[in-house]
Structure 1
Amino acid sequence: MITGELRNKVDKVWETFWTGGITNPLTVIEQFTYLLYIKRLDDNEKKKEADAELLGLDFQGIFPEDKPQLRWSIFSNMGPDEMFKVVTEEVFPFIKELGGKQSTYAKFMKDAIFVIPTPSLLARVVAGISGILQSVQTDGKKDTLGDLYEYLLSKLSTAGTNGQFRTPRHIIDMIVRLMKPTSQDIIVDPSAGSAGFLVAAGEYLRENHGDLFYIEGLKKHFNEKMFHGFEMDGTMLRIGAMNMMLHGVDNPNIAYRDSLSEQNKDTEQYTLVLANPPFKGSLDYDSVSDDLLKITKTKKQNCFS
């Protein structure tokens, strides 16, 4: 967990949202995540550009050459009014369609809304996030960004109406270490929430099976086929998917689905299940899979945990 100066910087940005009129913790995290993701896109692009130049390779980036203003390093230096216009009219629509309109990412972003209401609030938040990520880059710890995101999620102090959101990090880490995912696994969390289990599984693989990133087939498997998460809350879908991408999974399979319903026809598709099912809330009894109703007949989700 982050401490000290970095934690204070995160709290200050949180307070900036709050005093700017955005007081719902989930909304704050969602907007915070969009901007974190936009910043990381530019940081990753700079690294790839530098690597390509060092190796003498051609590089085709994600940002159009004729629209440099889409990059954080450009718009963050604009005045508040110009920045607000660029971010709301160009940058946010750009990230919503990143990867193509039919991509998994575009599908869960289609209902995303940028709700920061004023140029002054946006300018203050952008400046705060720049300071946060500068501290992350100089921190020296391997997963400071992950710790930062975990700290943001910890501000969701109570579960949602269906018991979603977060499982404490130490419990997630313990379960992942006990299950020991491998580079060939196909992993699913049927009640993914913010995708904490999938993120932890990815970090475990980086630490214990780092060779998979040097084997093309396994690297592709990691980025496209390994991780599956299902969730019924649209906001949590976006947060979970961006959580995965902020942790280096290019195309996670995060999708809207009621895993308990008759519509879920998955059988023998996954080699490992990592989950902390909801322990609060009711379900639509009439839509529950007959296979589950043979086990118990109830309207409570936790009975199927």
Structure 2
Amino acid sequence: MDSAQTQNTLKALCKVMWDNNVTNPITYVTQISYLLFLKMLEEMDHEQQEARNGNYRSLFGKYKDGKEELDYDPLRWSVLTSNPDNEAMLRTLRDTLPLLSRHPNLSQGARAIFRNAAIVIPNGATLRRAVDIIAPISFLGLDADIKGDLFEYLASELGGQKKAAQFRTPRHLIRVITQMVDPQIGGTVCDPACGSGGFLIAAYEHILLANTSPDFIHERVSPDGTVRKIGIGDKLTRSQWDFLQTGAFYGFDGDQDLLRMGAMNAMLHGFDRCPMVQRDSICGSEDKWDEIQFDYILENPPFSGSRGDAKRSLRIEKGDKYVLFLAHALRSLRQGGTAGIIFPNGILFGDTGSHVTVKERLLREFDLQAVVVLPKGMFEPYTPNPTCFFIFKNTGKPTKNVWFFKADCDGSSLSKARKFGPQYRNDFPDLLSMWPKRKTAEGRAWLVPAKKIIDNNYNMTLSSLGLIEAETIEHPEPEEILASVAAKEERILQLIQEMRGLLAGGNGG
């Protein structure tokens, strides 16, 4: 099965859920993920049994949790799906699936997938249709990259969770930021708003690529159409591998459903023994994770919403969520560490007390190395909000100069119907080539003294710093606006009269 066939299978599964009124993306993606994981778990279990010649205890069967004995055999895919009674199969799944969160032999990440799990598939017939679609898939026979694509496609189905201002981060943008931050083996990487785990996976792949011999590097086309290099990490020592899989990555998110996706992705990529924790990184009571600092922070925090109950350790009482996440990064970045964070452009011009306080701390106590203004439409189709990202380092010293780069194109159509291809200009290769030496170029890249930003009341928009001319928006004359409104109102009245006529004619018949 190739990537295209995998996507077609997933489309069919999504349609099954949609046709049976499971229409919320986060809900049907979660339900599909549970089923895929159960199929995968039995295959992995069988492979381990064969590889160890009987010196392996199956994950399925009876296990003790304290004094309670739990039986996981009903969740074995072949047992569960062989039940001819569809409703009985559904009851078994609903009753036993959450028990996997207590399985003593599953990794921390795997247990996180099933914490508070609930099956909302409406009936046994729908479940049967879904398992019949999944049945032909052999996960052990799938290339690791295709398995990764499988969950990437599911993550893309989530679309924009607009109620919580959660937008899926474009994967090519994640890779650009990760390359600029350049996480190294031996360092810890944290995403405090990890969602489906895109940044953590990019950091994992980046470290593998940096530790792979040229002969083992290959190129592959991602689901979004972009090409990337993949490595296997053959240069890593055993202890480095152990650290990469158990202690390198930390994912936090307040949304249990999104965290499940992140945990599944971590398991597919082999670092599911790293902490994936449901928690609020910026508000409420302090916890043990607030005492830990990290070598690298990569994140795309929520774009909207504000909170008035920020954690005391952030040294700020309230503010927009993305401002609080910046304060969190300043607190949580280890000395010598580097962060790459995406923001709405409000971070550039925001002049509230919290905006100014955090930007002042950033420039006076850290080295703000880069501000990259992203193309308009970067987060289409989820939001038209203009965005940017910061790269900064914890040096304990004030920023001297900030490198600004204006990216107008990303190799895509930048429209709601996102398309990639060579016909679209891409400024990201120039960004990556100019970044190491902070090269400047008229109209697109500048080196700005930090003092100029401070004197500008911490406003970092390109126009306010005199780097580009401010955009002028031509509005129609007031008379034109009023005439347009009047014409539309007249047309509405005409339509109302026509509808009344139709209704009167119908009653008369």
Over the residues paired in the alignment, what is the CA RMSD in angstroms?
3.0
The CA distance in 1 between the partners of 2:241 and 2:301, in whole Å, is 29
The CA distance in 1 between the partners of 2:234 and 2:10, in whole Å, is 34
Asked if 1:129 is matched to 2:151, the reply is no
Aligned to 1:58: 55
Stretch moving more, 151-160 or 76-85: 76-85
**CA, structure 1 residues 205+38, in 2 after alignment: closer, same or farther (shift >3 Å)?**
farther
The CA distance in 1 between the partners of 2:157 and 2:294, in whole Å, is 32
**CA, structure 1 residues 67+110, in 2 after alignment: closer, same or farther (shift >3 Å)?**
closer
Q: Which amino acid aligns with 1:20?
A: N
The CA distance in 1 between the partners of 2:204 and 2:60, in whole Å, is 27
Aligned to 1:278: 302
The one of 264, 269, 286 aligned to 2:293? 269
Contact 1:31 / 1:115 at 8 angstroms: preserved in 2?
A: yes
Aligned to 2:279: 257
Contact 2:29 / 2:158 at 8 angstroms: preserved in 1?
A: no
Q: Which amino acid aligns with 1:247?
A: H
Offset from partner CA, 1:151-194 (integer Å, 9 cap, x none): 11112222343332521111122222333333312110011111
The CA distance in 2 between the partners of 1:198 and 1:40, in whole Å, is 22
Contact 2:194 / 2:262 at 8 angstroms: preserved in 1?
A: yes
The CA distance in 2 between the partners of 1:149 and 1:248, in whole Å, is 14
Offset from partner CA, 1:201-249 (integer Å, 9 cap, x none): 223334443247761x333322322111111222222222222123222
The CA distance in 1 between the partners of 2:310 and 2:237, in whole Å, is 44
Question: Secondary structure at the residue paired with 2:252?
Answer: strand
Aligned to 1:183: 185
Number of matched residues?
292
Task: Identify which of structures 1 and 2 has the higher relative contact order when contacts are C-alpha pairs closer than 8 Å and 6+ apart.
Answer: 1
The CA distance in 2 between the partners of 1:40 and 1:51, in whole Å, is 16
Offset from partner CA, 1:20-77 (integer Å, 9 cap, x none): 2211000011111111211111111122122113xxx612232227864431133223
Offset from partner CA, 1:57-98 (integer Å, 9 cap, x none): 6122322278644311332233224432432333x1332322
Stretch moving more, 204-213 or 156-165: 204-213
The CA distance in 2 between the partners of 1:109 and 1:272, in whole Å, is 28
The CA distance in 2 between the partners of 1:36 and 1:218, in whole Å, is 30
Q: Greater share of helix residues, 1 or 2?
A: 1
Cα shift at 1:288: 4.7
TM-score using structure 1 length: 0.82
The CA distance in 2 between the partners of 1:278 and 1:206, in whole Å, is 29
Stretch moving more, 186-195 or 70-79: 70-79
Q: Which amino acid aligns with 1:61?
A: S
Offset from partner CA, 1:109-150 (integer Å, 9 cap, x none): 43221111211111111121233x33x6556x4411111111
The CA distance in 2 between the partners of 1:206 and 1:31, in whole Å, is 31
Contact 1:212 / 1:218 at 8 angstroms: preserved in 2?
A: no
Contact 1:245 / 1:252 at 8 angstroms: preserved in 2?
A: no
Aligned to 1:19: 19
Question: Secondary structure at the residue paired with 1:266?
Answer: helix
Aligned to 1:84: 90
Question: Secondary structure at the residue paired with 2:164?
Answer: coil
Contact 1:96 / 1:106 at 8 angstroms: preserved in 2?
A: yes
Offset from partner CA, 1:258-279 (integer Å, 9 cap, x none): 3223726735621111112222
Aligned to 1:39: 39
Contact 1:189 / 1:274 at 8 angstroms: preserved in 2?
A: yes
Aligned to 1:302: 322
The CA distance in 2 between the partners of 1:69 and 1:290, in whole Å, is 47
Q: Which amino acid aligns with 2:122?
A: P
Asked if 1:114 is matched to 2:111, the reply is no
**CA, structure 1 residues 154+175, in 2 after alignment: closer, same or farther (shift >3 Å)?**
same
The CA distance in 2 between the partners of 1:85 and 1:229, in whole Å, is 32
What pairs up with 1:64-75 in 2 under 5 angstroms?
Answer: 64=61, 68-75=73-80
Aligned to 1:200: 202
Q: Which runs of 5+ in 2 are unaligned?
A: 63-70, 212-232, 327-342, 344-509
**CA, structure 1 residues 285+75, in 2 after alignment: closer, same or farther (shift >3 Å)?**
same
The CA distance in 1 between the partners of 2:116 and 2:235, in whole Å, is 34
Contact 1:187 / 1:226 at 8 angstroms: preserved in 2?
A: yes
The CA distance in 2 between the partners of 1:247 and 1:201, in whole Å, is 11
The CA distance in 2 between the partners of 1:166 and 1:70, in whole Å, is 32
Aligned to 2:355: none
**CA, structure 1 residues 165+63, in 2 after alignment: closer, same or farther (shift >3 Å)?**
farther
Stretch moving more, 143-152 or 220-229: 220-229
Question: Secondary structure at the residue paired with 2:135?
Answer: helix
